[in-house]
Amino acid sequence: MTISEQLSQELGQKLQYVENVIALIDEGNTIPFIARYRKELHGAMDDTTLRALETRLNYLRNLAERREEVKRSIDSQGKLTQALSDAIDSAATVAEVEDLYRPYKQKRRTRASVARERGLEPLAAAIFAQEGADPYVLAQGYIDPEKGVGSVEDALQGASDIIAEDLSDDAKIRKDLRALVNRRGYLQSKADDPETDTVFRLYYDFAQPISRLLDHQILAICRGEKEGVLKVAVVLPGNEGAALVCRAALKPTARVCPVVRAAAEDAYQRLIFPSICRQVRADLADRAYTGAIANFALNLRPLLMQPPVKGFVTMGLDPGYRNGCKVAVVDPTGKVLDTAVVYPTFSEKKKQGSIDTLRAMMRRHGVRHIAIGNGTASRETEAMTVELLRSFPEASYAIVNEAGASVYSASPLAAEEFPGYDVNLRSAVSIARRLQDPLAELVKIDPKAIGVGQYQHDCPQKELDAALGAVVEDCVNAVGVDVNTASRSLLQQVSGLNATTAKNIVAYREEHGAFTSRSQLKKVPKLGPKAFRQCAGFLRVPESRELLDNTGVHPESYDAAKALLSLFGLEKTGDLADLPAKLADYGPEKAAEGCGAGALTLTDIAKELAKPGRDPREDLPAPVLRKDVLEMKDLKPGMVLSGTVRNVIDFGVFVDIGVHQDGLVHISQVASRRVRHPSEVVQVGDVVKVVVLEVDEKCRRIGLSMKQAPKG
């Protein structure tokens, strides 16, 4: 089976579509470009499916390459048989290939290698043949004090060591034992010091079948072990493991050879089981890390795609105690208008002085929205804001997740963007802009610093960066970018662009003024034809006289778009809202015959022309804008509240209900039906109705339920 055929089978996609996607990837096309502008070639697969195909393609290609490397290595030793070659070719994973290669790898010096140096390999083979000969009699002929074999016992020990190592290298034994451990084994954790209380107390005396372990349990145990709090072991009850190895080693028709049995038991205890335990632990960790990365990516997407609150002057408040509350006012485009530092937490007098300062700033600049960071002193800052807004009934505020704001404010990018501002004031600017356009601001921050995952710092960073980078890229390209206002950070996430070409675009518009057409991008240094083809459809030019330049229609399809308009007599009218319906009635396939584009592409063109410059985020729930404040002491069991989902993890959902302590909806309280993961029901940014179940002010814990909330 070819790689294309295997991918087609695994993904449930037509072979021709898979082959087309592979060809497009090999030509250097990006996933967003393929997903949006090559739909006829892949049958309208979404970007998630295309990413999965690309990831699996890379794995299978690496697997094929490793197979060939292993076969070449074994062949160079003169030991490659047709049966072994076939077994390597049929190995489905890299781990299976490595198990087959294990007997032929160059090993460090072991007890078995020492025994081989002493000439005991023939003795081991004769004993393992189990043909009825007495091992003690066979061993007599191998006594040689000069080689370090001074007695029959020395010879038998060396032969046993060789047999044990050969058994430990047997791929079938390892595969069967690994399956047994995964099926019947337990992961066990104990406290290193049971008297010390830590966040890992739940795992101080923990045992769970490996087959039933949840990802968050694996991650917690791994973290606890890494921090020296837990001692962890894989346990296989009974004697099944040793019995499995003995069955493989002993001939069923022969009288049991005690030397072979002892060697098999030694192989199991000393070599095979410890190795399998390490593999099982590594596989569990890989599974959990893969799940954690996928969960992080799942949460990051809706966070980046939060609807912007555009068109208003916005004030950003970065709360704090000792260093005060940092304030920044930005205009509707994000340009800084004013900054200040106030101290609302020092005293009532200072609080009133802070309100007076902010009131003057709001009147001076016409502030309509206030964004408050959810960090230290956020509750006190919110209380001050509620008092402030009594003078501004038309204004409102929102709590903004400030994760990563401090990382950005101290970065070289922030220093370049705001060279004259203090680090703390940069954070206030970032918080204000996060309300205005979350995507444009969050792309400036390392996705790992945004904090909508679990145990992300323990995950393999290369894989995490790749997964999160793909989400950022997909979101930016799904929304589109205004080439005349976008920051360098936003531009470099556009398909086909990189840090250099993004910087050159910014430099070009600063030197020559705003772009007036997409074709003008071809004049940007180092932005060649290939890069232009990849990026052009995702860059918007509102200032262009060509309507299509402010849509997601790719320049290569302009002729098709104009032919479509001509088909319905709409070349000179600006009312295109009914175009998708007209195309559907006429038939996309029929229209495609005369427009020079595929039916799927024409359907997309019609949607774009119906709403030029449309932002897809407008269809999502708007952020919650508040005018009053709720404190934890106000909460009572049974209260029904609305809140915003802040994080979705394996065991539940964290919801911001406006008290600066996110409540937890346990997975059992997410829905009336059983769900495998909370992401089946909600995603980050969703506005949900919840019922308060319990409030623990001392421990700062709030228990919530979604399934018990009244419907409607």
Q: What are the tokens at 236?
A: 């296989």
Q: Where are the domains of the chain?
A: 3-104, 111-295, 314-436, 510-619, 632-705
- Give the least confident one: 85-99, 129-143, 366-380, 611-625: 611-625
> Which CATH topology does 510-619 take?
DNA polymerase; domain 1 (1.10.150)
End-to-end CA distance of the chain: 52
Looking at the DSSP bridge assignments, the partners of residue 370 are: 315, 397
DSSP 497-554: --HHHHHHHHHHHHHH-S---SGGGGGSTT--HHHHHHHGGGEE-TT-SSGGGGSS--
Q: What are the tokens at 464?
A: 């995490």
- Give the least confident one: 13-17, 70-74, 220-224, 386-390: 386-390
Average confidence (pLDDT) over 345-353: 88
User: 220 phi and psi, to 5 degrees?
Assistant: -65, -45
Distance, CA of 275 to CA of 281 (rounded, Å): 10
Average confidence (pLDDT) over 31-59: 94
Neighbouring C-beta atoms of residue 131, cutoff 10 Å = 10
Q: What is the pLDDT of residue 626?
A: 66
Do residues 120 and 149 touch, judged by C-beta distance below 8 A? yes
Do residues 403 and 304 touch, judged by C-beta distance below 8 A? no
Q: What is the pLDDT of residue 59?
A: 94
Q: What is the pLDDT of residue 535?
A: 96
3-104 has CATH 3.30.70.1350 classification: no
Looking at the DSSP bridge assignments, the partners of residue 190 are: 205, 231
Average confidence (pLDDT) over 33-51: 94
Task: Name the nearest CA neighbour of 570 among 558, 579, 581.
Answer: 579
CA separation (Å) from 342 to 359, 435, 456?
12, 21, 35
Q: What is the pLDDT of residue 51?
A: 94
Distance, CA of 396 to CA of 43 (rounded, Å): 46
- 513 contacts: CB under 8 Å, gap ≥ 6: none
Average model confidence (pLDDT) for the chain? 90
CATH code for the domain defined by 632-705: 2.40.50.140
User: 576 phi and psi, to 5 degrees?
Assistant: -115, 10
Distance, CA of 265 to CA of 269 (rounded, Å): 6
Q: Which residue has the higher pLDDT, 621 or 369?
A: 369
Do residues 665 and 655 touch, judged by C-beta distance below 8 A? yes
200 backbone φψ class: left, alpha, beta (φ>0; ψ -120 to 50): alpha
**Secondary structure (3-state) at 427:** helix
Distance, CA of 96 to CA of 575 (rounded, Å): 62
Distance, CA of 653 to CA of 663 (rounded, Å): 8
Neighbouring C-beta atoms of residue 683, cutoff 10 Å = 18
DSSP 315-377: EEEE--STT-EEEEEE-TTS-EEEEEEE-TTS-HHHHHHHHHHHHHHHHHHT--EEEEESSTT
314-436 has CATH 3.30.420.140 classification: yes
Q: What is the pLDDT of residue 628?
A: 64
Average confidence (pLDDT) over 655-674: 87
Distance, CA of 397 to CA of 33 (rounded, Å): 38
Distance, CA of 548 to CA of 571 (rounded, Å): 12
CA atoms 50, 56, 57, 58: torsion sign: positive
Band (561; pLDDT cuts 50, 70, 90): very high
Q: What is the pLDDT of residue 14?
A: 95
Do residues 130 and 254 touch, judged by C-beta distance below 8 A? yes
CA atoms 431, 435, 437, 438: torsion sign: positive
**Is pLDDT above 70 for 341?**
yes
Q: Which residue has the higher pLDDT, 432 or 105?
A: 432
CA separation (Å) from 337 to 3, 419, 429, 440?
57, 15, 10, 19
Q: Which residue has the higher pLDDT, 155 or 612?
A: 155
Sort strands 369-373 and 314-318 into parallel, antiparallel or unpaired: parallel
Task: Name the nearest CA neighbour of 170 among 237, 84, 93.
Answer: 84
Q: What are the tokens at 460?
A: 């393999």
Q: What is the pLDDT of residue 633?
A: 78
- Cα dihedral 105/111/112/113 (nearest 10): 60
Please identify which residue in the block is written with the tokens 């061993």: 139
Band (446; pLDDT cuts 50, 70, 90): confident
Burial 552-585 (b: 16+ CB within 10 A, else e): bbbbebeebbebbbebbebeeeeebeebbebbee
Q: What is the pLDDT of residue 222?
A: 95
CATH code for the domain defined by 111-295: 1.10.3500.10
- 575 contacts: CB under 8 Å, gap ≥ 6: none
Q: What is the pLDDT of residue 552?
A: 92
Band (574; pLDDT cuts 50, 70, 90): low
pLDDT in tens, 482-519: 999 999 999 999 999 999 999 999 999 999 999 999 99
